[in-house]
A and B are shown apart, each in its own frame.
Chain A
Amino acid sequence: MVNVAMDSLTAKILARASGRDRVEVGETVVATVDKVMIHDVTGPITLDLIDNLNARIPKPESLYIFLDHYSPSPSIPASGIHRRFRIFARTNGVINFFDVGEGVCHQVMVEGIVKPGEVVVGADSHTTTYGALAAFSTGIGSSEAAYAILTGRLWFKVPEPLYVRLDGALPSYASGKDIILSVLGILGQEGANYKALEFAGPGLRTLSMSDRLTVANMSVECGAKNAIFPLDEVTLDYVREFNTPIDLSSLSYLRTAKVESPHLTLDLSTLEPMVAKPHSPANVAPVPSVEGVSIDAAFIGSCTNGRYEDLLAAARILKGRRVSKDVRLIVTPASKRVLMRALQDGLIKMLLDAGAVVTPPSCGACFGGHLGVVGDDEVIISSSNRNFVGRMGSPKAKIYLASPVTVAASALEGCVTDPRRYLG
């Protein structure tokens, strides 16, 4: 491999996947796709197309199917969709089929499935999440998913990199959510449109994999095609935890990322808890400036912040306390694995004791389909990723996005609250 050290990690992966030594920014390449993901919202259109072509799936083991958005099914049409998927998986030999209750696609995909250096596409915009593992991953449409499933390849324009340098250490009250909300506030809703957000710098070592996954997840909210982190000790520890088989010697090209002359530098040590106000994830403000806004509901979950670390962070605040009687706090673990671990460690009991409603693993309230739909004129603070009009239910509702600790502190007080009050 003759990769040029200065190239972006994204360009290096796309070069490898298209059998080239080097690719230029802006050039179109046809890359081999390692894995394709579809789910119960975008997948039915993909199945229609595959059925219509009457085609055989050449590598069913590369296809990952999730029933996670309507999970368990809240309606007759959704049950019909699920039934169709089950039959499809059985007849096409799709072994990687995750039925209701297994969890949100993006969380399960990073629990030992996606490997550093891979090219992974998913019919879901938050497929950018896997970049936290030093993979190239991006969201595509349902037709492109059918194309990738049937041919094992897809065309990509090599995106222009947007380098973000992280300095300093992440304070204990802040997390990946506060980082990405700060980035969104600076770049705006289309500030990284079509670009590859690449994170590097000395601050990285203070970011857990959970923080990185949150950052990569929400990078799409400023239009990024993908987000990527270099491979370091945090990545390796994570990969080991899941026993993901990797060939480290072939991945050394993912270790070095560009830190000089970045487009954006963030000093993590000065970070405040951040919140995105209605109705855009880029409409951000420091929590103190919106403190006191009353809320009716609070949600901790989703592929952004429904991990074990998120539940643990929330439990740190909720332990031995009671959620305000005017607020319903809904907690939806992002996967069965997360739920099991939180059960074993007593976190679930702690959350229930504090007055939370704990649901099965699902997209749940994030998507406004079930498990906590928000009504007219209600205000919710949520650890998820989108606060567009109508996203979580009624178009007349207001959604604030924040980190799990900010959501937990707000649930206790009944209004938007700075978590530092509880974290000393």
Chain B
Amino acid sequence: MCLKSVEGIVLVVGDNVDTDAIVPGRYLTLTDTRELGKHALEGLDPSIPGKLKERNLIVAGRNFGCGSSREHAVLALLGAGVKAVVAESFARIFYRNAINRGLLVVEAPGVSQKVSDGDRLVIDLESGVVVLASGETLPFKPIAREVLEIIEAGGLIERLRKELQYGRG
């Protein structure tokens, strides 16, 4: 994997941020990533899309992305320039969608207590830790093999493109 670390400025959100909060239903006729990005997390707080210009990492509490299966939620975050979401835990479908679309998602228990809005954060993928503003490190749960395979293929659809080209190997 060529991605070794991701660095950015943090926007902190709470527990159980659902996909209706990430992209409210009224925007679901959009499929363009950029357009969706203009509304990212608008359901939680209408001022967030403006803030995402300089904040590109999201630190969340438990169960981030619960609710509907809308992949628009991942596309909106990507469209807003979000590079990764670090959470206490993720809801199942959101987690799969993020992986399939190449949005980095890491589960780091304890992270929401240790990070404040505006902090600089580094996700070190080689060492499997999140480096906090204080220099302290916090380990994140190792990423499963099958998930890594998808990321390495460049997302699920790139993997599918290869499978369709070369057959099932």
Chain A residues closer than 8 Å to B67, beta-carbon distance: 125, 386, 388
Q: Does A242 contact B (CB under 8 A)?
A: no
Distance to closest chain A CB from B45 (angstroms): 10
Select B63's contact among A53, A193, A391, beta carbons within 8 Å: A193
- The answer to whether A49 has its CB under 8 Å from any CB of chain B is yes
Minimal beta-carbon separation of A149 from chain B (angstroms): 10
Report how far A70 CA is from B26 CA in the complex, Å. 11
Most chain B beta-carbon contacts within 10 A, residue among A123, A225, A367, A390:
A390
A202 at interface by CB-CB < 8 Å: no
Q: For the complex formed, measure the closest distance between the CB of B11 and the CB atoms of chain A, giving whole angstroms.
A: 18
Residues of B within 8 A of A88 (CB): none
Q: A189-B63, A223-B92 are in contact. Are A81 and B29 (CB under 8 A)?
A: yes
Select one of B18, B43, B70 contacting A395, CB under 8 A. Answer: B43
Which residues from chain B contact A388 at a C-beta distance below 8 Å?
18, 20-21, 67
Contacting pair B101 A386 (CB below 8 A): no
Known: A53-B157, A53-B164, A190-B63. A225 touches B92 (CB 8 A): yes
Cα distance, A382 to B12, chains bound together (Å): 32
B92 touches A28 (CB 8 A): no
Report yes or no: B96 in contact with A140, Cβ–Cβ below 8 A: yes
Q: Is B68 an interface residue (CB 8 A)?
A: yes
B residues near A391, Cβ cutoff 8 Å: 20, 25
Chain A, range 383-415, C-beta contacts under 8 Å to B: 386, 388-391, 395
A41 to B26, CA, bound (A): 11
Interface 0/1 of B51-73, CB less than 8 Å to A: 00000000000110011111110
- The CA-CA distance from A139 to B29 in the complex, in Å, is 20
Residues in A neighbouring B127, C-beta threshold 8 A = none
| Interchain CB contact (< 8 A) of A151 among B26, B70, B163 | B163
Q: Is A141 an interface residue when CB atoms closer than 8 A count as contact? A: yes
Asked whether B132 is an interface residue with its Cβ less than 8 Å from the other chain, the reply is no
Task: Tell me whether A142 is interfacial, beta carbon within 8 Å.
Answer: yes
Instruction: State in angstroms the CA–CA spacing of A78 and B92 once bound together.
Output: 28
The answer, among B21, B68, B91, B92, for a CB contact under 8 Å with A124, is: B68
Contact indicator A193/B16 (Cβ below 8 Å): no
Check if A155 is an interface residue, CB within 8 A of chain B: yes
Closest residue on chain A to residue B91 by CB atoms: A223
Asked if B115 is at the interface of the complex by the 8 Å CB criterion, the answer is no
* Contact between A386 and B20, CB atoms less than 8 A apart: yes
Q: How far is the CB of A133 from chain B (nearest CB, A)?
A: 20
Q: Which of A189-208 contact B (CB under 8 A)?
A: 189-190, 193-194
- A41→B28 contact, CB < 8 A: yes
Contact among B63, B101, B163 with A143 in the assembled complex (CB-CB below 8 Å): B101
Answer yes or no: A44 CB below 8 A from chain B CBs: yes
Report A38 CB to chain B, min CB distance, Å.
11
Contacts of B25-84 to chain A: CB distance below 8 A: 25-26, 28-31, 43, 62-63, 66-72, 74-75
Min C-beta distance of B46 to chain A, whole Å:
9
> Does A143 lie within 8 Å of B100, measured CB to CB?
yes
Pick the contact of A45 from B25, B72, B156 — CB < 8 Å?
Answer: B72
A369 touching B91 in the complex, CB below 8 Å, given contacts A49-B157, A53-B157, A223-B63: no
Q: Which residues of B contact A55 (CB under 8 A)?
A: 164
Contact status of A369 and B26, CB under 8 A, knowing A125-B67, A140-B69, A143-B71: yes
Inter-chain contacts of A369 with B (CB < 8 A) = 25-26
Binary CB contact string for chain B from 91 to 107 against chain A (1 if under 8 A, 0 otherwise): 11100110011000000
Does B161 lie at the interface of the complex (its beta carbon under 8 Å from any beta carbon of A)?
A: yes
Q: Which residues of B contact A (CB under 8 A)?
A: 16, 18, 20-21, 24-26, 28-31, 43, 62-63, 66-72, 74-75, 89, 91-93, 96-97, 100-101, 144, 146, 155-157, 160-161, 163-164
Could you pull out 7 A-B pairs where Cβ atoms are within 8 angstroms?
A80-B29, A123-B69, A142-B97, A144-B97, A144-B156, A193-B91, A368-B25
A residues neighboring B (CB under 8 Å): 28, 41-42, 44-45, 48-49, 52-53, 55, 69-70, 75, 77-78, 80-81, 123-125, 127, 139-144, 146-147, 150-151, 155, 157, 189-190, 193-194, 223, 225, 280, 367-369, 386, 388-391, 395
Given A77-B29, A193-B63, A193-B89, list of 16 further CB < 8 A pairs?
A45-B72, A49-B157, A53-B160, A53-B161, A124-B69, A125-B69, A141-B97, A142-B97, A143-B100, A143-B101, A144-B156, A147-B160, A150-B160, A190-B16, A369-B26, A390-B21
